[in-house]
């Protein structure tokens, strides 16, 4: 076999780039909140202290965006895994090693991002979970679906089990002591969150990095990893099943499946999302109870359902020849560069070591900022790819994966 080489621009599947470009917007609309909040506040659901346009904007994102676009990115990662390995199998004798090298480089990017730029990184998660994907190289689409669904259900069952265990514990003779420990833990969490607000608003770069390491330990330690690994791996495997079945790589042959994704995704996802938006605004993931378990379940259904509906809409519009969609594709081709740019721009803008605007703007204003940055990235990505074959970080990722500097400028 010949030496492996990265996929050429003309070989790319434009629909996947369009969906990836669209997913960037959703991820930014969600992340913009946590560029101005410590990540520990994720454990407490929706910020009900907002009012007016800020409340309406935050509620809309919480209900229709949060979780849906990380799900979309995970599905795309799974599709990319299959496409990368299929091509690597044709080009090299060691496709698994090549893929491992690819995710190792991604892990390095994620590690730098999560420690030195922003703690809400997703790249390191993908790299960690990506190792397990090597167990599914030859798995059929049908079995990938089953594995994916089973893995996604695991965290939901664990949450219900945790709620049952919490209820049993509180009703036992040791209940009062257990309740006191819960209240003490809640107070410690609130102190940590308050310290985070102060450090992000006024602290120097070293202080911010130090606090961020504490946040990372909180989110990934304990039961955190037990929840995120099955969810992400399961979603990625469903994405791999899509690629094996050709639903998004050959969409013209799967129009019925895409319509079903839209219809059934909306039927299950929309009511679940609205239920979360109405009844799930106040919850505490640190202390599981039956109400929280129900909301957690509805969130899982809403995330998958609305994600499927959004992807189905985009695919059907693409098949319908909607030319405006092509403006999303360049941003999708530069997804890694654009994603990291989000963090660099907004941490510099908000944090004390930058322009110090932390907490100065409400959710509506910061959402407008996010949309303006995204529109700017659509323009810049188009401009850049008219001159270069890859985005800057995409070029670095490919060069490191293949251990050879890739040609950057277009001929």
In a domain, 162, yes or no: yes
Round to whole Å and give the CA distance between 66 and 2.
Answer: 43
Helices 14-34 and 335-350 sit at what angle, rounded to 10 degrees?
Answer: 20
Can you give the pTM of this predicted structure?
0.93
Supply 32's token pair: 């913009």
With a CB cutoff of 8 Å and minimum separation 6, the contacts of 368 are none
* pLDDT at position 5: 55
In a domain, 349, yes or no: yes
> Is residue 176 very low, low, confident or very high in pLDDT (cuts 50, 70, 90)?
confident
- Average pLDDT of 205-229? 85
**Best-predicted range by mean pLDDT (4-8, 212-216, 391-395):** 391-395
* In contact, 327 and 382? CB cutoff 8 Å: yes
- For residue 36, the 8-state DSSP code is S
Count of structural domains within the chain: 1
Round to whole Å and give the CA distance between 213 and 22.
Answer: 31
> Is residue 411 very low, low, confident or very high in pLDDT (cuts 50, 70, 90)?
confident
For the chain, how many helices (H) and strands (E)? 15, 0
In this predicted structure, the answer to whether residue 7 has a pLDDT above a threshold of 80 is: no
In a domain, 161, yes or no: yes
* In contact, 109 and 94? CB cutoff 8 Å: no
Round to whole Å and give the CA distance between 154 and 157.
Answer: 5
**272: number of Cβ within 10 Å:** 22
* In contact, 318 and 249? CB cutoff 8 Å: no
In a domain, 189, yes or no: yes
The backbone torsions φ and ψ at residue 45, rounded to the nearest 5 degrees and listed phi first, read 75, -140
* pLDDT at position 3: 56
In a domain, 199, yes or no: yes
Round to whole Å and give the CA distance between 377 and 384.
Answer: 10
Can you list the alpha helix ranges (DSSP code H) found in 246-360? 255-279, 290-319, 329-333, 335-350
Q: Is the torsion defined by CA of 117, 118, 122, 126 positive or negative?
A: positive
In a domain, 379, yes or no: yes
In a domain, 146, yes or no: yes
Query: What percent of the chain has a predicted confidence (pLDDT) above 70?
Result: 96
pLDDT tens per residue, range 110-163: 999 999 999 999 999 999 999 999 999 889 999 999 999 999 999 999 999 988
- Average pLDDT of 9-32? 88
**Segments forming the whole domain that contains residue 34:** 9-386
In a domain, 395, yes or no: no
pLDDT tens per residue, range 263-283: 999 999 999 999 999 998 887
- Average pLDDT of 190-211? 94
* pLDDT at position 1: 45
Query: What percent of the chain has a predicted confidence (pLDDT) above 90?
Result: 74
């Amino acid at each position: 076999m010949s030496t492996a080489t990265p996929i050429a621009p003309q070989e790319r599947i434009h629909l996947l780039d369009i969906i990836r470009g669209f997913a960037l917007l959703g991820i930014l609309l969600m992340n913009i909140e946590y560029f101005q909040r410590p990540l520990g506040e994720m454990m407490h659901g929706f910020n009900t202290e907002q009012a007016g346009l800020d409340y309406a904007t935050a509620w809309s994102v919480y209900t229709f965006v949060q979780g849906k676009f990380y799900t979309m990115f995970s599905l795309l990662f799974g599709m990319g895994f299959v496409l990368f390995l299929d091509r690597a199998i044709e080009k090299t004798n060691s496709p698994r090693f090549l893929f491992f090298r690819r995710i190792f480089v991604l892990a390095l990017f994620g590690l730098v991002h999560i420690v030195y730029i922003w703690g809400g990184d997703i790249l390191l998660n993908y790299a960690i979970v990506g190792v397990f994907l090597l167990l599914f190289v030859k798995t059929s689409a049908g079995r990938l679906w089953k594995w994916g669904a089973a893995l996604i259900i695991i965290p939901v069952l664990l949450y219900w089990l945790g709620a049952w265990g919490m209820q049993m514990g509180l009703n036992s003779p040791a209940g009062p002591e257990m309740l006191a420990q819960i209240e003490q833990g809640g107070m410690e969490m609130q102190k940590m969150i308050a310290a985070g607000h102060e450090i992000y608003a006024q602290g120097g770069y070293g202080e911010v990095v130090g606090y961020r390491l504490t946040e990372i330990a909180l989110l990934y330690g304990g039961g955190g990893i037990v929840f995120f690994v099955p969810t992400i791996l399961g979603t990625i495997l469903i994405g791999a099943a899509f690629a094996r079945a050709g639903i998004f790589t050959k969409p013209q042959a799967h129009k019925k499946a895409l319509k079903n994704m839209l219809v059934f995704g909306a039927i299950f996802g929309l009511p679940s999302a609205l239920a979360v938006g109405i009844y799930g605004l106040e919850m505490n993931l640190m202390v599981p109870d039956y109400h929280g378990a129900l909301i957690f379940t509805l969130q899982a259904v809403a995330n998958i359902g609305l994600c499927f509906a959004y992807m189905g809409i985009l695919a059907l519009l693409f098949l319908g020849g909607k030319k405006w969609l092509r403006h999303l594709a360049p941003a999708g081709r530069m997804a890694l560069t654009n994603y990291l740019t989000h963090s660099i721009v907004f941490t510099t803008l908000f944090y004390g070591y930058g322009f110090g605007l932390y907490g100065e703007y409400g959710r509506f204003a910061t959402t407008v900022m996010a949309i303006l940055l995204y529109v700017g990235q659509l323009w810049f990505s188009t401009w850049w790819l008219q001159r270069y074959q890859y985005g800057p970080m995409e070029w670095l990722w490919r060069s490191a994966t293949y251990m050879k500097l890739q040609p950057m400028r277009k001929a």
